[in-house]
């Protein structure tokens, strides 16, 4: 590489002048001109000595860098999709728990109202009936949300996509190709793995995987708060409203 860099600094005009001087000296001494004149390729050393060697090497270096960048992208996307799958699984679990608990509110209050019907006042009876209606509506809403979102199935797709991207990243990291065509083939397979997944991760999953508990603590705390709110916020609201109504009017 050092020789090729020095060859770039050779001035073709200077080489030509030097060749003419050597020819004139050879003529005065009676020597053949072929012995004095430098090789024909010396005047074009910048092209003949550099191009055949440095161009393939430069392409190989660029391909290796592109492969490393692609591996880094795959790792980030893999982590984001694993985080998304875990988040959706948690939401499915919390949704089932909230739906069961709100349904228990309704059933428990109905049983309590039937058992102590002669002992509760009219105002308490109306309050119990109102809380039962709220609980039944919440149970219906939670059931519809779970059916529409289908967190379990989405988590399954994201998990499989993350595994496929992880396997492809490991294969590319081991191969570390220097051929641009091979890197392009890996890129095509990576895009196909993403297209095969009908679900995409959210921006929260991407930030969660990008920070990974490192960097600015304030930024990490803010992302983590958004993550907790996304997973538990709505279901905590459904769980808290019926007891709050009972406490407020009790």
Q: What is the value of pTM for the model shown? A: 0.72
**pLDDT higher than 60, residue 12:** no
Domain assignment present for residue 67? The answer is no
- 134-155 burial: b if 16+ Cβ within 10 Å, else e: bbbebbeebeebbeeeebeebb
Assigned domain for 10 exists:
yes
Query: Which percentage of the chain shows pLDDT scores above 90?
Result: 49
Q: How far apart are CA 22 and CA 8, in angstroms?
A: 23
Q: What is the structure's pLDDT at 249?
A: 76
Same domain as 203, residue 140: yes
pLDDT digits (tens, 9 = 90+) for 217-247: 888 888 889 999 999 999 999 999 999 988 8
* Residues ≥6 apart with Cβ < 8 Å to 61: 178
Q: What is the tens place of the pLDDT at every residue in 134-190?
A: 999 999 999 998 889 899 999 999 999 999 999 999 999 998 888 889 999 999 999
Range of the domain at 95: 72-249
Q: Could you give the CA distance from residue 186 to residue 189 in angstroms, rounded to a whole number?
A: 5
Question: What percent of the chain clears pLDDT 70, i.e. is strictly above it?
Answer: 76
Do residues 126 and 38 both lie within one domain?
no
Instruction: Please check whether residue 63 lies inside any domain of the structure.
Output: no
The structure tokens listed for 152 are 């379990």
pLDDT at position 25 is 60
Total domains in the chain come to 2
Rounded Cα gap, residues 178 and 69, in angstroms: 13
């Amino acid at each position: 590489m050092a020789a090729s860099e020095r060859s770039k600094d050779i001035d073709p005009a200077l080489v030509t002048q030097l060749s003419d001087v050597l020819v004139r000296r050879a003529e005065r001494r009676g020597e053949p001109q072929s012995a004095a004149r430098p090789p024909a390729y010396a005047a074009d050393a910048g092209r003949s000595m550099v191009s055949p060697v440095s161009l393939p090497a430069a392409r190989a270096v660029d391909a290796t860098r592109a492969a490393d960048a692609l591996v880094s992208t795959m790792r980030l996307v893999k982590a984001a999709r694993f985080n998304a799958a875990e988040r959706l699984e948690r939401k499915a679990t919390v949704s089932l728990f909230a739906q069961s608990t709100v349904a228990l509110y309704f059933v428990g209050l109905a049983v309590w109202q039937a058992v102590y019907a002669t002992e509760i006042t009219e105002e308490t009876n109306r309050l119990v009936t109102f809380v039962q209606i709220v609980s039944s509506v919440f149970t219906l809403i939670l059931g519809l949300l779970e059916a529409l979102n289908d967190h379990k199935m989405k988590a399954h797709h994201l998990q499989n996509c993350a595994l496929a991207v992880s396997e492809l990243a490991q294969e590319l990291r081991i191969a570390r190709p220097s051929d641009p065509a091979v890197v392009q083939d890996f890129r095509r397979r990576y895009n196909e793995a993403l297209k095969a997944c009908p679900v995409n991760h959210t921006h929260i999953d991407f930030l969660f995987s990008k920070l990974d508990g490192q960097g600015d603590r304030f930024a990490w705390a803010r992302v983590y708060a958004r993550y907790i709110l996304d997973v538990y916020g709505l279901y905590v609201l459904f769980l808290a409203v019926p007891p709050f109504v009972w406490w407020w009017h009790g």
